[in-house]
Structure 1
């Protein structure tokens, strides 16, 4: 990206374009999209964990004034291809997990729908269920491949030999719990069916069904592709919009059952929109979660700290209905050098709802294990944990042997140590105390890979003196409205005020979803190519209606390199000797993110990830009641499921070392949405050990674990 630095927009601090709309409450989210005379849906959900529906008595609900329809498996429209078992709902009497959608009531108001749902009586034939996660589960299995498409297992060298040759070893188990996303905007959807007239050269050819959806979605293009085969429709028959999304963290990456439930209900009421917004409690049932993990991590090292062996064996939960195999071992395969390496992934099948993406899926739980184990190794060696990481920084990718396109982890660690005052850290635990509080510092590395994405396109059109840039991207609060406008302005060589951005609609050029930290470099590349094509075709004086398209571009030579973002997290904590309470007093992240498009939105992304990391480290845990006949999350609200509040985040700062990486595309930007969270819990846990001498290997770090 080459622009005149005097007029460049990219790299400049810009206030969010959508900011005024959001702070004034005028940005229309999915549930607020204007609809005429809508009906409202409330779901019927299973109260057993596994079995079959014997009978449904909806007579009392149907008799209630204001009830328009009761949807069950008995009258639900038929779905076609069973391409996604999570979306293939109401097609049989089967129940797969507690809280599964088994029907819905549609009424004139939300209140009537909810009351009517309580009047429906369901009888079941129960079957033996299993919801208790245990690593030794007799049915655990090898998924073959994990979510990124790579093999579940890997092996290089001879691990047992590497461990035998080691002067020092670590062999420990680390665990992470179920977690739920809980964005501020609950999942919500509006669906409406109508008839679309087909015109031909000889006149009207007929009509066909047309479906319009407003959804809280991280990617409308991807959502439409998932819905089409189930509904048996062509792309032109489905229109989805999602211009504003009030947080997602992965939970809105793909459509979940509530979208199909609303679509099926609306199918019974053609011409009338049906609206549904989940309650906070319902968010814990059927829109995904972070799976739980049990990870055995082994390290072997020579006396000087050089690693001789790394093994990472993961057991993680999975829904029997739909597998979600996280790439928990991914960072272990690439971050540190060792001649002997082995990783494995096994899934534990349970009668629970499907898991889904949650900020930095796989890398987050995996790096908690890896970076805690590295700290334990540093303690055993009597070596500074930063120095241990620097001594094992690979010259090339340890698994593939490819060179790195850019690799500034060492720079992040060193700069972070300088900024954080690492030289003041006492290596001996319990060496610093202030009254009842023990104080300590910890560090962890961070990495997140470039994800491969399907083709992404953008368009540029000149209308009424403005350049209208279109791409079916999504802004989850990440700043896409702003940074894509900046990228377009520089590529077109015009002021930002001359660019009008259009996102979040399937009528726009196809774009990959907002996930995997791909948005800015993937969408930005497509916007840049479209802008260049526009200028090449029409020059600097386009005519009204001139338009051009372009696809995201990545250099062919990028295939020769390992492409990753890096970072380092530094945490300072104090721990009460009386209550075991943990306070994070300071948190610093230093990152290697390629080119920064907008410092303001980038800083927000980094700090947001770090705050979410504090939340996971100290509070977040979904308690699944695994007793027979239950199988639900018992703390399914903010009274029981704790997340970080302002008092938990007193001093969180982000810095970066800017080295544009052209292998990520013409923007030179890497991903930043998830690199901010991956190492945070390990850094906090390592700081707790430095403060107290007690090693915690299971998230979250609650007071009970420090006083027991």
Structure 2
């Protein structure tokens, strides 16, 4: 396929593309959420009278007057259904007013009485035992007998997604039901959830989300914004707009759990692994259980006959954890790839060679054949391009230099979807599917997939997405979007093309295809994307500051549908990996129970000045066992392993091994 610029690019740069609360609607009121100010306890009173007396205030919603909602799997969507406060920052009330300014002032004035209880927000080792997930062979005996072993603990802090567009909803009720413009990663899922919560026929709920300003997983599940906005709109009998503030997003929209990872590796004298043990402690809320499958990549990365991977969830009085780009693989490969580098250094083996020696012929997890696995090719291609062979730690004045490497992986999955393809008499085509483009370029990729299947120029194809009235679609998440939606689009367009032997009638020709049966009958293979990160660092020995002048990612991700947007996805992931390595850290206030640095002034993310020579390339990988396009997801593999590559480069430059992210001057400088 030839590269294609984003089909919605002009609309975005000219302001024609509208996001959730930008849609013009007459008579819209404004909602401002109120967060709990205790870490645990109960609501005893809500002093709404004073606030309701303010000019312009229309309503105050809380547990004292909220309508009854149906229960769903996510307790955070049961807005105002209980007096229980499970964490500081929990949504406990809301004010509806004529203007945003009035709503903000009223929310600040609203007094809520609490009965506070002692809270616990401190994740620490030794809180409880593990629950084993995978246990093969006898890893303890293998470690005891190993010629060389590594036993280290690696940690990651809580990290927040921080998409550019906050979580926001515009909600309106009318005789046809409920319509919401919502910032999410899947309009079908949000529609079905709202229908259940408000006891509606799904046909009476319409969710519109054609443009979404990022999500990184935080908008992958329905959020309280949609429920609260719908509740408020029904209460005041007019449209309402609601957007969480940046500070509220730190407690109300999910984040990546902090992890404590103990990684143990055993190897023979040649560096061939005999044992891998990856045990993880993670933080969990009392509101909702979510497991970050941190040890997951250790199941499939390297060959070892004796293995144990385990997770332990520690319930604390904290906000609910959730998806963040590369859930599981991102923190997990930090631990595993750091340990692999430590093993290589201990044994005096080149880190790339160590990985190649432990390349598995089939999936270590289940013995399935790989659909394709080109990790070794990524490592070798990257080594040649980056100048790895001649790498040496160096010093230029007060600057230490070094290089590091780490592997990357992400699973390849598909979800069932439905798509409709239509041919018009004028030679144009329209494809409809309720997919989501959260800035990834999905709309453009689907246009290319449709055009190829129809044997038509992309300019003749219009793809409609982001509306729950369209054929149902899975979420944008888990790097499944293009593969899942693309399969449905490809099959629908292929079926339509077969119907076009005769002239197209005035009413057009339309075909609808569902992929459920195809996915259920697919052959069993281990399907994963792989890659390798190469990093050069410069470390100031006086300040402990780490700079990354060069970063290269080499990926094997099947057929790349659109090189233009693919590169954006990969370097975007690599940039987030850089942030994970050097700056991103949500700091918990143990006394009060909330995150202290809850805005972009204090929670630092990479900016253009932090990124210099950043390059992402991909191999020409042909894999016939994936989907009709031969593609793998690329939205997340760019971040996986990146932090470990930075840390490994820092060790190469300085001889200092940092095992607790991020690598800040305060952690590095004392050892320089």
TM-score, normalised relative to structure 2: 0.97
Partner of 1:694: 656
Which of 183, 191, 194 in structure 1 is aligned with 2:163? Answer: 183
Contact 2:414 2:519 in 1 (8 A): no
Aligned counterparts of 1:638 and 1:433: Cα–Cα separation in 2: 34
Which of 228, 249, 266 in structure 1 is aligned with 2:195? Answer: 228
Helix, strand or coil for the counterpart of 2:21? helix
Partner of 1:653: 615
Which of 417, 429, 433 in structure 2 is aligned with 1:456? Answer: 417
Aligned counterparts of 2:594 and 2:537: Cα–Cα separation in 1: 34
Contact 1:523 1:552 in 2 (8 A): no
Deviations along 1:409-461, whole A, 9 cap, x unmatched?
000000000000001212xxxx41011100000000000001352x2111012
Partner of 1:118: 108
- Quote the offset at 1:508 in angstroms: 0.5
Residues 545 and 422 of structure 1: CA distance in aligned 2, closer, same or farther (over 3 Å): same
Partner of 2:547: 583
The alignment's C-alpha RMSD in Å is 1.4
Higher mean C-alpha deviation, range 77-86 or range 670-679: 77-86
Partner of 2:665: 703
Which of 637, 653, 656 in structure 1 is aligned with 2:599? Answer: 637
Partner of 1:376: 342
Which of 356, 359, 368 in structure 1 is aligned with 2:325? Answer: 359
Contact 2:424 2:504 in 1 (8 A): no
- Quote the offset at 1:309 in angstroms: 0.4
Aligned counterparts of 2:482 and 2:501: Cα–Cα separation in 1: 26
- Quote the offset at 1:135 in angstroms: 2.4
Aligned counterparts of 1:34 and 1:473: Cα–Cα separation in 2: 23
Contact 2:297 2:409 in 1 (8 A): yes
Contact 1:103 1:261 in 2 (8 A): no
Which of 242, 246, 259 in structure 2 is aligned with 1:293? Answer: 259
Contact 1:80 1:232 in 2 (8 A): yes
Q: In the TM superposition, what are the counterparts of 1:8-87 in structure 2 within 5 Å?
A: 10=1, 12-87=2-77
Aligned counterparts of 1:396 and 1:29: Cα–Cα separation in 2: 45
Q: In the TM superposition, what are the counterparts of 1:185-334 in structure 2 within 5 Å?
A: 185-196=165-176, 210-270=177-237, 272-334=238-300
Aligned counterparts of 1:556 and 1:32: Cα–Cα separation in 2: 40
Which of 501, 512, 524 in structure 2 is aligned with 1:549? Answer: 512
Partner of 1:677: 639
Contact 1:58 1:119 in 2 (8 A): no
Higher mean C-alpha deviation, range 693-702 or range 160-169: 160-169
Helix, strand or coil for the counterpart of 2:486? helix
Partner of 2:501: 539
Contact 2:569 2:638 in 1 (8 A): yes
Which of 136, 139, 161 in structure 1 is aligned with 2:141? Answer: 161
1:100 aligns with 2:90: yes
Aligned counterparts of 1:321 and 1:510: Cα–Cα separation in 2: 29
Aligned counterparts of 2:424 and 2:244: Cα–Cα separation in 1: 39
Partner of 1:202: none
Aligned counterparts of 2:338 and 2:130: Cα–Cα separation in 1: 27
Contact 2:414 2:483 in 1 (8 A): no
Aligned counterparts of 1:72 and 1:141: Cα–Cα separation in 2: 39
Which of 76, 89, 92 in structure 1 is aligned with 2:79? Answer: 89
Helix, strand or coil for the counterpart of 2:290? coil
Aligned counterparts of 2:139 and 2:522: Cα–Cα separation in 1: 31
1:568 aligns with 2:532: yes
Q: In the TM superposition, what are the counterparts of 1:595-610 in structure 2 within 5 Å?
A: 595-610=559-574
Partner of 1:147: none
Deviations along 1:304-328, whole A, 9 cap, x unmatched?
0100100000000000110110111
Contact 2:272 2:358 in 1 (8 A): yes
- Quote the offset at 1:557 in angstroms: 6.9
Contact 1:437 1:577 in 2 (8 A): yes
Gaps of 5+ in 2: none
Deviations along 1:76-123, whole A, 9 cap, x unmatched?
111123432110121121111111111111011100000011121111
Deviations along 1:533-565, whole A, 9 cap, x unmatched?
212234363223321111237566744210000
Residues 63 and 527 of structure 1: CA distance in aligned 2, closer, same or farther (over 3 Å): same
Deviations along 1:457-492, whole A, 9 cap, x unmatched?
110123462211001011111111111111101111
Higher mean C-alpha deviation, range 540-549 or range 679-688: 540-549
TM-score, normalised relative to structure 1: 0.92
Aligned counterparts of 2:197 and 2:614: Cα–Cα separation in 1: 45
1:170 aligns with 2:136: no
Helix, strand or coil for the counterpart of 1:369? helix
Deviations along 1:33-83, whole A, 9 cap, x unmatched?
221211000012111111111111111211111111111112211112343
Aligned counterparts of 2:196 and 2:474: Cα–Cα separation in 1: 18
Partner of 1:520: 482
1:435 aligns with 2:392: no
Contact 2:137 2:306 in 1 (8 A): yes
Which of 312, 319, 340 in structure 1 is aligned with 2:306? Answer: 340
Contact 1:251 1:289 in 2 (8 A): yes
Contact 1:555 1:663 in 2 (8 A): no
Q: Return structure 1 stretches of 4+ with deviation > 6 angstroms.
A: none
